[in-house]
Amino acid sequence: MGLAKLLVKLFGVALAVLIMRYVVSYLRSSLKGLPGPFLAKFSDVWRFWNHYTWKHIETQKKLHEQYGDVVQLGPKTVSLSDPNLLKTIYTTRGTFIKICALGSPFIAQELDPLMNDTDASKGKTCDIADWISFLITLDFLGDMTFSKRFGFMEQAQDINGQINTAERVMHYFSVVGQIPMLDKWLGKNLWCPIKFADFAIPAGFCIQRFMKRVQNLEQFKDKKDFMNGFLEAKKEFPDLVSDNTVIGYMIINILGGVDTTAIVMKAIFYWILKNPSIKAKLVDELRTARLPFPANYTSAEQLPYLDACIKDGLRFHPVVGHILERVVPSTGLRLSYGTTLPPGTIVGINPWVLSRNKNVYGEDAEDFIPERWFRKENEDKEAYEVRFKMMKDADMAFGNGNRACLGRLLALVELHKVTATIFSKYKIELEDPE
């Protein structure tokens, strides 16, 4: 009993010290006057839990609707939604450093027979979301990286649960990324009783492909893929690029595109199908254009309504649902209403919040409307150009600044080609329009 009482007392003292530490930190903070959830001012546990429960997107949207452009999400973390700060925070000069955290022949030729086989399933229900995942994730990236698909399309299934694993890993990154030090105690802790999902299978596949390539260089010399490009870089810069570096490049190539483009494409398909008038306009444009099958990017990118659907899909359903964090430099960050955030403050803009900014996208910002990218009736040319530039400058679909996504152009090729091919070739509709 004596030991138990002692342990209880020690726990109480430790808890009191911890609470006192949070209180003192709060009282000394220069951010305490900023609006935001009360608990978020003391600890990052608030936003950790918010991400864990999958509520962070809606929560941050509501907080900005309630408080405006500036919301405190943690003791040292501030979410911003002022589009005028984009070029300051995400400057190409990199003065706001990133916080430590966690035209393809493949589509045009090799998938042709597989897509033609769909005639046998005419009139049947198809979960197109699964097929988009099979096509856009590891199969496409594998073909582009080392001319070898994983086999999702041929087998029509999530091989070894890799896509499901990718989704769970991304959720882990999203949650633990709110308190990065937890990763040492969880995902990177060999003694942790909970085994978290990882990318061991695709990483192993990358290593296998590398070993086969270096052992048969002559056989693969004409392959126009990323691996040959990486090997060429190793040959040209041996002091900078080693075998391990090349393998690392390939793993990043694969993991960087897993589930990202597929998420946006699923959303674009859904919202087109959800709005019959939009679908009718798109199909009419595609069939009038008489695109080849499968569609090529050169032709597809010239179609204005298709391009508008993709633009508004990227705006309406961004891949990233949390703030893209940067650290305020020694000069501080002066906000529009005069307050200056001190050096070391973690700031960022959430693409889901900015993409709903009515000052940028209009009162209908909460709706999927491709027509917003066109000149309105009775809108003069100069006003349209100003409005278009404002929307384009606020685009965060692929990040912004010197850390913007390097796969942007490749993703746009995929989105244009696949969307054009499917909607021009097939008559599809939602099984349940409601």
CB 260 within 8 A of CB 411: yes
Helix (H) or strand (E) holding 98: strand 97-98
b/e map of 92-102 (b: 16 or more CB within 10 Å)? eeebbebeeee
The pLDDT of 350-374, averaged and rounded, is 95
More confident residue, 234 or 403: 234
Say if residue 257's pLDDT is above 80.
no
CB 229 within 8 A of CB 221: no
The pLDDT of 213-226, averaged and rounded, is 88
* 14-18, 32-36, 333-337, 400-404: range with highest mean pLDDT: 32-36
| Domain range list for the chain | 30-425
b/e map of 302-322 (b: 16 or more CB within 10 Å)? ebebbbbbbbbbbbbbbbbbb
pLDDT in tens, 151-184: 877 777 777 777 777 778 888 888 888 888 888 8
Among the listed residues 110, 128, 103, the one whose alpha carbon sits nearest the alpha carbon of residue 118: 128
CB 181 within 8 A of CB 174: no
Question: Please, how many CA atoms are within 13 Å of residue 6, restricted to the half-sphere of its CB?
Answer: 3
- Which distant-in-sequence residues (6+ apart) come within 8 Å of 208 by Cβ? none
CB 136 within 8 A of CB 216: no
- Which distant-in-sequence residues (6+ apart) come within 8 Å of 29 by Cβ? 41, 75, 76
CATH number of 30-425: 1.10.630.10
* 134-138, 198-202, 322-326: range with highest mean pLDDT: 322-326
Report the predicted TM-score, pTM, of the whole model to 2 decimal places: 0.84
Percent of the chain predicted with pLDDT > 70:
85
Say if residue 117's pLDDT is above 60.
no
Per the structure block, which two tokens stand in for 379? 């809108």
Taking all residues of the chain, what is their mean pLDDT, rounded to a whole number? Answer: 84
* Model pLDDT, residue 105: 37
pLDDT in tens, 283-300: 999 999 999 888 888 999
pLDDT in tens, 52-61: 999 999 999 9
Say if residue 77's pLDDT is above 80.
yes
* Model pLDDT, residue 376: 92
Judge whether 405 is annotated as a binding position: yes
More confident residue, 109 or 298: 298
The pLDDT of 313-334, averaged and rounded, is 92
CB 192 within 8 A of CB 174: no
Measure the CA–CA gap between 412 and 409, rounded to whole angstroms. 5
